Amino acid sequence: MAIPIQTEADLLSLGLALGASRVRGWSDAEQSLVRGLPMESPHVDAARRDIQQGRDPLGDIFCTLRTPVERRPQGATYTPPIIVEAMTRWADLPAGPSRIVDLGAGSGRFIVAAGQRFRDATLLAVELDPVAALLCRAHLAASGLAERAEVVVSDYRALKLPEIDGRTLFIGNPPYVRHHLLGDTWKQWLVRTAKQLRLEVSQLAGLHVHFFLATALHAKPGDYGTVITAAEWMDVNYGKLVRSLFLGPLGGRSIDVIEPAALPFSDAAATAAITCFVVGERPSRIQLRRIESLEDLDALQCGKSVRRERLENSPRWSPLTRATKRGPDGYVELGELCHVHRGQVTGANKIWIEGPHSEGLPESVLFHTVTKAKELFTAGRALSDPSSLRRVIDIPADLDCLDKPARLKVEKFLKTAAKMGADKGFIATHRKAWWSVGLKRPAPLLATYMARRPPAFVRNLASARHINIAHGIYPRQAMSEKALIVLAGSLARSTTVHQGRTYAGGLTKFEPKEMERLLVPGPELLEAGETDGTWENAGTPTAT
């Protein structure tokens, strides 16, 4: 039965009643929080019983009182017990730890689980939020671990770890905070610190990347660790620092990727990566695995073996976690048949999409355009009627090609656009002419590329243009209508979210080159209207 606590003050009183004050390291911030609060709670027996049975009632209550939106600025996402258990079990190596460091402790799920497994290790939990830190103390105390535990209210990056004899285990779930919420001071810290290790870095890196770097600084050869983070670092440019740390100073051994459908983070639909490493090692092969259900998460470091050199030479690691996909006979990669191009960036949709501000412009500079992914998702197999689409203003760079009446109307609009700041934006200042959006020619097929669902692939019978919310698919050689229909149907049927890159929040993205790697029927099968047997020739598609 859930413990009926409605306020953080009552939760803190419960923490005090469970013995939080017996754990070393109290901070001024925590003292201020509990000043005047009662040190007893009617729920103490129920909470202690739950904790001694392996549950985390304090963390569960905290996550109820603070919504995911409220916890997002500090990146506080709590890890399911089944994952905590798998990670602590992996850490039970022949030479166990003398010290355990939980690098983003929250309510203490990792530090308690590791403390109970490793009975001789000292325990150090690092947590920036004083409320969560106090709950962590209470969790440790109620678990019988107070005497060898300390909780430090600090930023993990600023932590000063004393030297010890023996190994340190680094374990936990680093907070996920996007770069734009990080201050310049810490971004400069990232640059300076990476430079010390002679590693490339991007200031677009999120907080979890900072924590990987801080761990490389805190650790010494022989130390080891296992952390769970969002998996996007495996593929994005700013993740290159983590990939370099994994193959270099951290001594990466394995990566287990958990699909979003398994809910590795209970309040965020995101792909997770469990990274295991032993500092100073340089294994010739790395274990990679992809997990679709948490029930399959038994032992870590038991995936397929991938040569180190392959990881070193791969800009994206997610594809290496998947079994090699072999298509039926006659199938090829989409890129052999078509180019995939992202749509044009306008730089300011409110200006370059037709509206009251553009009344009077000649029809020759107005183009029906797909400007929302929803327009493709709702189109069905084909986009046939352009009248439902908004029109984008695309003025030629050379105004002399317009006749006099049209040019006068355009020049009048350009004065209005300039007053709206259209000539000042980054995109506009990098165009040949600031007023010329430069829409690409209509693509025979259009596709969405970012959503929480597989892409939509739509036959563009309306000859609509597209901006950067969609990809255009352009055949390298002319295709018949029948072949285009079969191609669109095959793509729509066979493409899954697992083939793209999934970001925290559950968004899956397909870059143009990634979409070009999708398997599709080859030219002969397309013209014959044949695929793997599941396609039924539906004739000319119609809008739905």
pLDDT by residue for the chain (544 residues), tens digit each? 688 999 999 999 999 999 999 999 999 999 999 999 999 999 999 999 999 999 999 999 999 999 888 887 787 888 999 999 999 999 999 889 999 999 999 999 999 999 999 999 999 999 999 999 999 999 999 999 999 999 999 999 999 999 999 999 999 999 988 888 898 999 999 999 999 999 989 988 999 999 999 999 999 999 999 999 999 899 888 999 999 999 999 999 999 999 887 878 776 667 899 999 999 999 999 999 998 888 888 788 788 889 999 899 888 898 888 765 667 888 988 988 999 999 999 999 999 999 999 999 999 999 999 999 999 999 999 999 999 999 999 999 999 999 999 999 999 999 999 999 999 988 999 899 999 999 999 999 999 999 989 999 999 999 999 999 999 999 999 999 999 999 999 999 999 887 887 765 667 889 888 899 899 999 999 988 855 444 333 333 333 2
Q: In what order do the strands lie in the sheet containing 508-509?
A: 450-451, 508-509, 501-502
Give the three-class secondary structure for 258: strand
Q: What is the pLDDT of residue 530?
A: 58
Instruction: Quote the CA–CA distance of 395 and 362 in Å, as a whole number.
Output: 10
**512 contacts: CB under 8 Å, gap ≥ 6:** 340, 341, 342, 471
Identify the burial level of 21 via C-beta atoms within 10 angstroms of its C-beta, where 0-12 means exposed, 13-18 middle and 19 or more buried: middle
Q: Which residue type, as a one-letter code, is found at position 535? A: W
Classify 464 as helix, strand or coil: coil
Q: What are phi and psi of 143, to 5 degrees?
A: -90, 0
Unique residue bearing structure tokens 């497994």 = 117
Distance CA 53, CA 507 (A): 36
* Model pLDDT, residue 34: 94
Total-model pTM:
0.69
Length of the chain in residues, anyone?
Answer: 544
**Residue whose structure tokens are 């050689």:** 477
Confidence (pLDDT) at 495? 92
CB of 446 closer than 8 Å to CB of 470: yes
| 368 phi and psi angles, rounded to 5 deg | -60, 125
* Phi, psi torsion values for 30, nearest 5 degrees: -70, -40
Residue 444: name the closest of 356, 339, 516, 349 by CA: 339
What distance in Å separates the CA atoms of residue 12 and residue 33, rounded to the nearest whole number? 8
Q: What is the pLDDT of residue 15?
A: 96
| All residues at 6 or more sequence positions from 344 whose CB lies less than 8 Å from its CB, including other chains | 437, 438, 439, 440, 465, 466, 467, 468
Residue 435 · residue 383 · CB < 8 Å: no
Six token digits for residue 289:
């695995």
CA distance 422 to 429: 9
Nearest to 315 by CA among 248, 235, 238: 235
d(CA 344, CA 131): 47
Inter-CA distances, 471 with 354, 440, 484, 511, 544, Å: 21, 11, 16, 9, 21
Q: In this predicted structure, what is the pLDDT of residue 321? A: 86
Half-sphere exposure of 176 (CA within 13 A, CB side): 24
Alpha helices, DSSP H, located in 219-348:
240-247, 308-312, 334-337
Cβ-contact 15, 135 below 8 angstroms: yes
Q: Which residues of 478-505 are buried (b: 16+ CB within 10 A; e: fewer)?
A: ebeeebbbbbbbbbbebbebbbbbbbbe
pLDDT at 531: 53
Amino acid 513: pLDDT:
83
What tokens were used for 206? 């999120």
Taking the C-alpha atoms of residue 220 and residue 249, their distance in angstroms, rounded to an integer, is 9
Q: Which two tokens stand for residue 322?
A: 């998947």
* Cα distance between residue 88 and residue 65, in whole Å: 28
